[in-house]
């Protein structure tokens, strides 16, 4: 009698196929995988059991942990009695048959290889998401502008060169920006401006993928409310609050792309008054940036707004920096950084502006871990304590007198070469002069926004390599417990947005 080993293969609680091995040769004789038809796989397995020739003995291999204990008892009983009784048509492998054991090992090896290849495929796809985002910053190609068809049919024709053309006035924008509403109620929360889901087409419906929506989040009641809209769609812009005024600076307009599907940087500057809800977005006031920027660092200190690095219209990294005087409505250059830096984290801490991580133009070190400090009084840069590992697209937040960095994209450890979304939360330890781990986010992410409110840090949206795209999850990181809990999700998957506190 010839004994064959038959294995029903299951993955994630689904039957995905069957394997048949010959114990005399210990080679795989038959294989079938059905990833989309579990019923077909089950039916096919039953066929092997019910229609096998008389000289074939189907031997079923069980791998689930909850049956291991029972199998050990059965094997002990088999050694004592020399045989095993079949139960309901199911035959258990007898340990004393060496050939059957070799056949079982062959099947196990094949299944492990299949599952390993499936896991590697998922990891490779996740790595490509990060690599494509970083490659957009390294590219130095000729910029051939090609306007993308706007899905909003009411849009007027726009200039084919939106970078060199003036900002479109209110009478010709896609929609007149809605005045901010419901801002006089007692609140303790934040506001989110713009941002899109890059995997979806732009929409004209409010509270959808327009790239223009403004939402207010009340932390105590865990509620979102649509309170207005931007003059035009914007992503990866700079945002700063000075008193009751919020400035939206530069960024990209997702309606326009280059021939290689790269978003185009713009130089517009808009302002909205949180008291009156009135927008100022004329090309004459506020003054535009000196040149287009996107993916740059931005911070406000003592009534002055500072911008650092970023990408120009041809995705070339910038080391130049500028400051904007909100009183005199004027831009002027300041001391540049030591090299091009894109998608870095920026915050004001202890009377200096800190710039951490980011993307460089050096192929041997595409992601940075260095930290720079800018002194606004002396107009000079100094190096500070570097991050443990390189990271970009992260956020710097000051809370309870401490400086925190959350998430980002970079290698998992010093030996890893792939770039993935990171979940860790670090704090600057001034005594030990190093960055120290204080917790982790529930969802690894980069390209997100974060705002500190009292003893909590609210982390919003972004992109996750685990989810292979933009996400809508909101997390509340409690500084007293160093734990993160789930908050009320965003109205849609968002990345490239800006957020400010409205305390």
Enclosing H/E stretch for 80: helix 68-81
Q: Which tens digits make up the pLDDT trace of 453-500?
A: 988 999 999 999 998 899 999 999 999 999 999 999 998 899 999 999
Rounded CA-CA distance 212/466 in Å is 27
From residue 311, alpha-carbon distances to 281, 330, 370, 496 in Å are: 22, 22, 19, 14
Q: Are 67 and 103 in the same domain?
A: yes
Whether the CB-CB separation of 346 and 374 falls below 8 Å is answered with no
Residues in contact with 449: Cβ distance below 8 Å, sequence separation at least 6, in sequence order: 192, 395, 459, 460, 461, 462, 497, 498, 499
Closest CA to 281 of 232, 315, 235, 234: 232
Q: Classify residue 190: in a domain, yes or no.
A: yes
Which parts of the chain sit beneath pLDDT 50?
1-4, 9-16, 25-30, 32-66, 80-96, 140-174, 185
Q: Are 468 and 431 in the same domain?
A: yes
Q: Are 224 and 275 in the same domain?
A: yes
- Give the structural domain span for 440: 145-501
- Please tell me the predicted confidence (pLDDT) of residue 33: 44
- Please tell me the predicted confidence (pLDDT) of residue 285: 80
Confirm whether pTM is higher than 0.75: no
Q: Are 375 and 456 in the same domain?
A: yes
Q: Classify residue 289: in a domain, yes or no.
A: yes
Q: Classify residue 130: in a domain, yes or no.
A: no
Q: Are 59 and 153 in the same domain?
A: no
C-alpha triplet 123, 491, 469: angle, nearest 5°: 15
Q: Which tens digits make up the pLDDT trace of 260-293?
A: 778 889 999 999 988 888 888 876 688 999 899 9
Q: Are 326 and 235 in the same domain?
A: yes
Q: Classify residue 257: in a domain, yes or no.
A: yes
Q: Are 108 and 151 in the same domain?
A: no
Rounded CA-CA distance 307/453 in Å is 24
Whether the CB-CB separation of 322 and 290 falls below 8 Å is answered with yes
Among 69, 102, 119, residue at a domain's last position: 119
Q: Are 494 and 422 in the same domain?
A: yes
Q: Are 50 and 166 in the same domain?
A: no
Whether the CB-CB separation of 250 and 153 falls below 8 Å is answered with no
Q: Classify residue 135: in a domain, yes or no.
A: no
Q: Are 65 and 195 in the same domain?
A: no
Enclosing H/E stretch for 14: strand 14-22
- Please tell me the predicted confidence (pLDDT) of residue 55: 38
Q: Classify residue 134: in a domain, yes or no.
A: no
CA Rg, the chain, in Å? 29
**Beta-strand pair 56-60/2-11:** parallel
- Please tell me the predicted confidence (pLDDT) of residue 209: 81
Structural domain tally of the chain? 2
- Please tell me the predicted confidence (pLDDT) of residue 218: 84
CATH code for the domain in which residue 170 is found: 2.120.10.80
- Please tell me the predicted confidence (pLDDT) of residue 357: 95
> Which SS3 state, helix, strand or coil, does residue 359 take?
strand
Q: Are 297 and 403 in the same domain?
A: yes
Q: Classify residue 133: in a domain, yes or no.
A: no
Q: Are 152 and 92 in the same domain?
A: no
Among 103, 119, 135, residue at a domain's last position: 119
Q: Classify residue 84: in a domain, yes or no.
A: yes
């Amino acid at each position: 009698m010839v004994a064959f080993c038959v294995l029903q293969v299951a993955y994630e609680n689904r039957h995905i196929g069957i394997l048949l091995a010959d114990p005399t040769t210990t080679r795989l004789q038959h294989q079938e995988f059905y990833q989309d038809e579990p019923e077909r796989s089950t039916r096919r397995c039953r066929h092997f059991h019910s229609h096998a020739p008389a000289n074939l003995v189907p031997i079923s291999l069980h791998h689930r942990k909850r049956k291991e204990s029972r199998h050990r008892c059965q094997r002990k009983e088999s050694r004592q009695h020399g045989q095993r009784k079949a139960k309901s048509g199911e035959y258990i492998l007898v340990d004393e048959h060496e050939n059957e054991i070799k056949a079982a090992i062959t099947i196990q090896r094949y299944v492990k290889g299949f599952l390993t290849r499936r896991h590697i495929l998922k990891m490779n796809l996740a790595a490509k998401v990060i690599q494509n985002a970083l490659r957009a910053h390294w590219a130095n190609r000729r910029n051939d502008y090609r306007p993308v068809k706007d899905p909003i049919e009411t849009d007027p024709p726009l200039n084919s060169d939106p970078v060199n053309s003036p900002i479109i006035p209110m009478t010709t924008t896609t929609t007149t920006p809605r005045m901010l509403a419901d801002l006089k109620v007692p609140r303790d929360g934040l506001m989110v401006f713009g941002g899109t889901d890059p995997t979806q087409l732009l929409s004209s419906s409010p509270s959808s993928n327009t790239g223009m929506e403004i939402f207010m989040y009340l932390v105590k009641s865990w509620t979102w409310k649509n309170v207005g809209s931007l003059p035009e769609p914007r992503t990866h812009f700079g945002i700063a609050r000075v008193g009751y005024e919020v400035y939206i600076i530069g960024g990209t307009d997702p309606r326009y792309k280059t021939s290689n599907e790269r978003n185009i940087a713009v130089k517009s500057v808009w302002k909205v008054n949180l008291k009156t809800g009135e927008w100022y977005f004329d090309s004459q006031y506020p003054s535009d940036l000196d040149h287009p920027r996107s993916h740059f660092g931005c911070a406000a200190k003592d009534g002055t707004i500072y911008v650092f690095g970023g990408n120009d219209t041809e995705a070339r990294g910038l080391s130049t920096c500028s400051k904007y005087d909100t009183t005199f409505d004027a831009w002027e250059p300041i001391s540049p950084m030591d090299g091009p830096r894109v998608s870095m984290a920026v915050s004001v801490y202890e009377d200096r502006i800190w710039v951490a991580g980011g993307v460089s133009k050096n192929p041997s070190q595409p992601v940075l871990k260095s930290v720079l400090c800018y002194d606004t009084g002396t107009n000079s840069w100094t190096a500070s304590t570097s991050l443990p590992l390189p990271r970009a697209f992260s956020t710097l937040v000051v809370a309870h007198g401490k400086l925190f960095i959350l998430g980002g994209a970079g290698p998992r450890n010093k030996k890893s070469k792939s770039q993935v979304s990171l979940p860790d939360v670090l704090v600057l330890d001034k005594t030990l002069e190093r960055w120290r781990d204080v917790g982790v986010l529930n969802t690894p992410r980069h390209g997100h926004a974060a705002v500190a409110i009292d003893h909590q840090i609210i982390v919003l949206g972004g992109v996750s390599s685990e989810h292979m795209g933009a996400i809508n999850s909101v997390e509340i990181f409690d500084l007293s417990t160093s734990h993160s809990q789930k908050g009320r999700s965003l109205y849609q998957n968002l990345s490239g947005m800006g957020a400010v506190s409205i305390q």
